[in-house]
Amino acid sequence: MKINILKIVFLNLFFLTSLFANFEQDIEKLKTNSLKDKQEIVKQLAQNYGDDDRTNLLLTKMEEGELYYLETTGEFVILEKKEGNTYYSKSLLTGKELEAQDKKIFEKVKTNNKLRSIINSKLAEMNLFSKKDEKRLASSKNILKNLDKDSQELITKALAKETNGDIKEVLTEANTILQAKYSTNTEEQLLAVVQLGDYLSNQTMIALKEIINNENNQPELIKAAKSSLGSVETIRSYYAVVEKAFFGLSLGSVLLLAAIGLAITFGVMKVINMAHGEMMMIGAYTTYTLQQVMPNLMEYSILIAIPCAFIVSGIVGIIIERLVIRYLYGRPLETLLATFGISLILQQLVRTIYSPLNQEVKTPSWMSGAWEINSALSLTYNRLYIIIFAVLVFIGILLVLNKTSLGLKVRAVTQNREMAQAMGIKTSFIDAMTFGIGSGIAGIAGVALSQLTNVGPNLGQAYIVDSFMVVVFGGVGNLWGTLIGAITLGEINKFIEPVAGAVLAKVLILVFIILFIQKRPRGLFPQKGRDAQD
């Protein structure tokens, strides 16, 4: 029994070793100067090692003109970058980064248009018949985007073998488009045109428009194409509204994160904090700094940045409150001027430390890409996560204010500062903690913003006015009002922007807020308590 197991293990190891050796030996043939021979070699590699990731990588880099081999060792390498006469590369077979070397020892695996066409065809065929579903799906989508008459045979062959429903749907759409455009059977062509009314991709719309604009087509076919195109456009218009609503919700989530801290500080201390945007900027730069300090933890950098940004921005907020704000309570205009000066100081400090140029914060792979619901609607993961994150932060703040001793004291100070002080509550401590929490939440908003835009010294200035509008619209100091105000303004902005433009949309929203305040000066949800009546 033991002998049989050892024999099986030995045979498997021998098979894998020989496979690797054969692949390594076969790609050596690519060093030939004959482009005609390379065409046959590419076909053989695709046939013999079609489901091998190394083949996919080799052919992809060969098509892109980035496949080389070293004259000194003969090793195949992938060129990563050039700096003058110095080339940086990595091994094709092992993926190991190689030392920078002079370009003279690099020999390019040359191609021409015909060879690149063959490579592209073989890559599509390899991926379309891969054992991995994700490869086949990506390949089928690529074929749909770059559809031509020559793809018909490959698509028909793939459809006969495909079992995955999602992949089959993409291939069926591609096949239907080809039938609608090139079929010589009139009935089959007409049926295909009618069936295209059930698909939503850009390729379907392009194909239908081509059929409509082709004067040689029969009137019946053109009529059917117009009907199908109208059906597709109607359905896509519905999904366009959903997409706008999603973008409005994501903008509203950012406004909520930006305004919620302002609502707390403004509601408790009656301080007009013009440096609130700079707290967001500090949170964004905290995220950038963490990525520079921990480049190997890029996937977790955003998660680590959330508590770090809260602490850093919160500490800065407490320092501002203790050194400046505490002496200006009851004088809102002076707090406005003082915090405006602080905002300028913080901006200049960041310019001195990080430079005035915008910095890019990298997005982790799990936040990249989009959730593709169908051909007409896809939701980007970064915005989706920001919406979820904003909801969690809002729930967390509600729990802190309603379920903790600190929250009870904050609400007491908000409603009646003098009475709270008479009951033994240290209002100065509550002020400092509230300002710190509000600034910390702004820092968290900066982490979210770093995933949507570049980080720069003026990052917060773009959101400070919007934050004040949200707070005033929703009702000063009311968290539910802030939530509704943020989502409402976010949605209004995204639906007006495509029609009126970004600048005019802001102006219209500002006019709307002014008119609204004329009717309801205390916002949607007025603050309750004696202080609110002052």
Going from N- to C-terminal start, the domains of the chain cover 18-114, 132-217, 239-519
pTM (two decimals):
0.73
Count Cβ atoms below 10 Å from residue 427 Cβ, excluding itself. 18
Percent of the chain with pLDDT over 70: 92
- Predicted pLDDT at 456: 86
Beta-bridge mates of residue 78: 67, 90
Give the tokens for residue 40.
């046959």
Backbone angles phi, psi at 432, to 5 degrees: -65, -45
pLDDT tens per residue across span 448-506: 888 888 888 888 887 888 888 888 887 766 788 888 888 988 888 888 887 777 777 77
Phi and psi (nearest 5°) for 475?
A: 115, 120
Cα 481 to chain centroid distance, Å, stands at: 29
Paired sense of beta strands 370-374 and 377-380, if any: antiparallel
260: Cβ contacts below 8 Å, ≥ 6 apart = 393, 394, 397, 438, 441, 479, 482
Q: Name the token pair of 19.
A: 């496979």
Q: Which amino acid, residue 355?
A: S
Asked whether the predicted pLDDT for residue 315 surpasses 90, the reply is yes
Element (H, E) at 85: none
Please give the pLDDT value at position 4.
52
CB 283 within 8 A of CB 447: yes
Number of H helices, E strands in the chain: 20, 7
Place of tokens 């005609």: 36
| Stretch (H or E) spanning 77 | strand 76-83
The per-residue pLDDT for range 99-157, each reduced to its tens digit, is 888 888 888 888 888 888 788 777 777 777 777 777 788 888 878 877 777 777 778 88
- The pLDDT-based confidence of 345 (bands split at 50, 70, 90) is very high
Mean pLDDT of 19-39: 74
First and final CA of the chain: distance in angstroms?
A: 91
CA proximity to 253, closest of 51, 428, 393: 393
Q: What band does 257 get if pLDDT is binned at 50, 70 and 90? A: confident
Is residue 65 within 8 Å of 82, Cβ to Cβ? no
DSSP E strands, 92-132:
101-102, 106-108
58-67, 102-111, 239-248, 451-460 — most confident range: 239-248
pLDDT at 10: 44
208-234 per-position pLDDT tens digit: 888 888 877 888 888 888 898 888 889
Mean pLDDT over all residues of the chain?
Answer: 81
Neighbours of 280 (CB within 10 A): 33
Return d(Cα 271, Cα 248) in angstroms, integer. 29
Type of residue at 175: N
Task: Reduce the DSSP state of residue 154 to 3 states and report it.
Answer: helix
Cα-flanking dihedrals φ and ψ of residue 226, to 5°?
-65, -40
Band (5; pLDDT cuts 50, 70, 90):
low
Q: Tell which residue, 530, 38, 468, has the closest CA to residue 258.
A: 468
pLDDT at 13 over 50: no
Tell me the average pLDDT across 317-332.
84
| pLDDT given at position 528 | 57
Neighbours of 137 (CB within 10 A): 18
pLDDT at 533 over 90: no
Q: How far apart (Å, rounded) are the C-alpha atoms in residues 112 and 116?
A: 6
Angle between helices 502-519 and 461-474 (to 10 degrees): 30
| Rounded distance between C-alpha atoms, residue 474 and residue 479, angstroms | 8
36/162 Cα distance (integer angstroms): 33
| Cβ 76 vs Cβ 122: under 8 Å | no
Place of tokens 């919160």: 314
Query: Residue 15 carries which side chain, given as an amino acid letter?
Result: F
Pairing of β 106-108 and β 67-70 = antiparallel
> Model confidence at 50, in pLDDT bands (50, 70, 90)?
low
Four-way CATH pick for 239-519: 1.10.3470, 1.10.1060, 3.30.70, 1.10.20: 1.10.3470
